[in-house]
Amino acid sequence: MTKDKASTDTLIATILKGIEEVKGNDIDILDLREIENTVCDYFIICNGTSNTQVNAIVGSIQKIVSKEIKDKPWHIEGTENAEWILMDYVNVVVHVFQKHIREFYDIEGLWGDAKITSIQTNY
């Protein structure tokens, strides 16, 4: 459970590493700090091509975050069908989608006031 900006930045970088380790696609970071009444400071959103890859992304994030910064999610939802898995690290909430589910819910559109940073991947 991160509190300060440095530890939040480290958590974000480590989560990104976990996503990239198993080739998660279309990675966006939504900065919610300037929006009133949000439940966290950042959303990290990505997608996989199948429920197998979605589960692999979540597993990779958990493993790398646990190993490198000794943190674990406060709560995880959606593992039953692996279409949309939410990982709550308190200040940072990770959304791992299958592509068609991500397009349907359009989280980026719902949080249109957020500053969005798209992460370029090399695969």
What CATH number corresponds to the domain at position 60?
Answer: 3.30.460.10
Give this prediction's pTM: 0.93
What is the count of structural domains for the chain?
1
The rounded distance, in Å, linking the Cα atoms of 50 and 112 is 27
The helix or strand, by DSSP H or E, that contains position 16, with its residue range, turns out to be: helix 5-21
| Interval 47-70: pLDDT, tens | 999 999 999 999 999 999 999 999
pLDDT of residue 1: 42
Has residue 3 got a pLDDT over 90?
no
Q: Can you give the pLDDT at residue 118?
A: 97
Q: Is 92 helix (H, G, I), strand (E, B) or coil?
A: strand
* pLDDT tens, position by position, 23-46: 999 999 999 999 999 999 999 999
3-state secondary structure of 107: helix
Q: 113 is in which domain, residue-wise?
A: 5-119
- Terminus-to-terminus CA distance in the chain, angstroms? 31
Mean of per-residue pLDDT scores for the chain:
94
